[in-house]
Structure formats: structure tokens, C-alpha cells
Amino acid sequence: MLRHTGQKRSFNHNVRLATLLCLNAGFINGAGFLAFNVLTTNVTGHAALFAVNLAETHFRAAGMVALWFLLFLTGAFTSGICIETVGREKPSAYLLPIGIILLILAAVTICGHTYNGSLAQTEYFAGSLLFAMGMQNALVSMISGSVVRTTHLTGMFTDLGTDLSLAMIQRWKLTLRIKRRILLRVVIVTFFLLGGVMGTFLFLRYQFDAFLLPILLLMIALFYDYFRFYIIRLARRYK
């Protein structure tokens, strides 16, 4: 899922990656919005909020949104540094970025019960999730060669729309490449939305304990990768 043994990633690698981590991002987006009234997986939606706060001279609030921009960027930067420094196909390449995301989610789960709705706490909690999702988005983008994006849907809907228009023009006589491209984008959209529904439902029921599910999903992604490579190496050794 995270690493591959062949010369290049397969379509199935990217589908598994999109399924699990889009579900994770959608969950955090839904639960994070209910918890803090902030979109916590992307920065596009905050651009208008930043502009409105500036226009209305709410400089404190505008500064908070600007900080969220910076934290998402810093998360992506940190993820890139971690992966490129270690090497993309090294066993530990993704351990540090995913470990940092897990720590942030664990902190939100444990400390979230103290959240009182203050501006300062919103800044810290929402900012930490934006940093984590910046890390995840960069991680997935680097793994998939910018084919999979897990934390927002704007680009996916745009690309899916253009692919469907091409399919209609060609009377649905599509090449395998275009079929796979459409299927992957449908998977990304579907599992992000499913994650959002799950996140909102479980947060309403369990509050901040609901963030234990994305922690579990990331641990599955990490350990699946390690166990799969271990089994492959073991099989090759006995051959």
C-alpha cells in the first residue's frame, strides 16, 4: 500500500491507498468540523474566511486563519523532508510521518475532552489537525506520484467531470487507462464522503473518543505495509 516491490506502483496499490486514507481524511474532516466548527483537512475553504476577516478588520481571526494555512504547508513540508531524507522505498520512510500524525490524533483524543470552545483552544486543536492532514496529503501524493489526493475533493470532482465528458464523447468505448482513472477518482470521492458520514455520526455518539478510529486506520496502513513486505521477503528467501 505505502511501498511496492515492482518497478512502479500498480493500479491496485493506489486503490488500496485511496480507500483507507480517504476514509481517514473524510472522517477527520467530519468529526473535526463538528468538534471545532473548522474544516480541518484542507485550506481552500478558509481563503474566503481569511478575506472576510481582513475586510471586516477582524485581524485576530484573520491571523488565526493565516496560521492554519502555514500549519498545513508546514505539515506537507515536514512529511516531504522525512520521506526524502530516509528514501521512499526504505522500510522506515513512512514511519516518522505517520507516527507524528498518530501522536497528534492521540493528543486530540485525550485532550479534546477539555475543549471549551475558546478561540485559543480552537486555534490549537484545529491547527494541529490541519498540520496532520498536510502531512497526510503530502505523504499520499509522494507515494502515488500525485495520482491520489486524500484530503480534499475539488480537484477530484474536476478531473472526474473531464474524464466522464471524454467517456461520453467516445461513446463509453474506453481504454483500460481511462477506465482505471475514472474508477480511482470514484473511489477517492466515495470513501472521503463515507469517512465524513462516519466521522460526524461517531463524533455525535462518542465525542472525542471517535478519533480512535482514524488512529486505527493509520495503524492498519502502517502495519499492513510492514507485514506484507516481511511475507514477500520470507517467500523469496525460501524460493
Q: Residue ranges per domain, the chain?
A: 11-238
Give the pLDDT score at 195.
94
> Cα–Cα distance between 56 and 60 in angstroms, integer?
11
Give the pLDDT score at 132.
95
* Residue 181 to residues 27, 62, 163, 222, Cα–Cα distance (Å): 24, 38, 8, 25
| Helical H segments across 56-149, by residue range | 59-86, 95-111, 119-144
Angle at CA 37, nearest 5°, toward 208 and 34? 40
What's the pLDDT tens digit per position in 133-164?
A: 999 999 988 888 777 877 778 888 888 888 88
Rg from Cα positions in the chain = 19
Give the pLDDT score at 230.
62
Q: How distant is the alpha carbon of residue 143 from its chain centre?
A: 12
pLDDT of residue 206 exceeding 80, the answer is yes
What's the pLDDT tens digit per position in 30-46?
A: 999 999 999 888 888 88
Phi then psi for residue 150, to 5 deg, are -110, -10
Q: Is 97 helix (H, G, I), strand (E, B) or coil?
A: helix
Q: Is 118 helix (H, G, I), strand (E, B) or coil?
A: coil
Give the pLDDT score at 239.
61
What's the pLDDT tens digit per position in 63-113?
A: 999 999 999 999 999 999 988 888 776 767 788 899 999 999 999 999 999
Three cell numbers written together for 26: 473524510
Report the CATH fold assignment for 11-238: Growth Hormone; Chain: A; (1.20.1250)
> Cα–Cα distance between 29 and 43 in angstroms, integer?
12
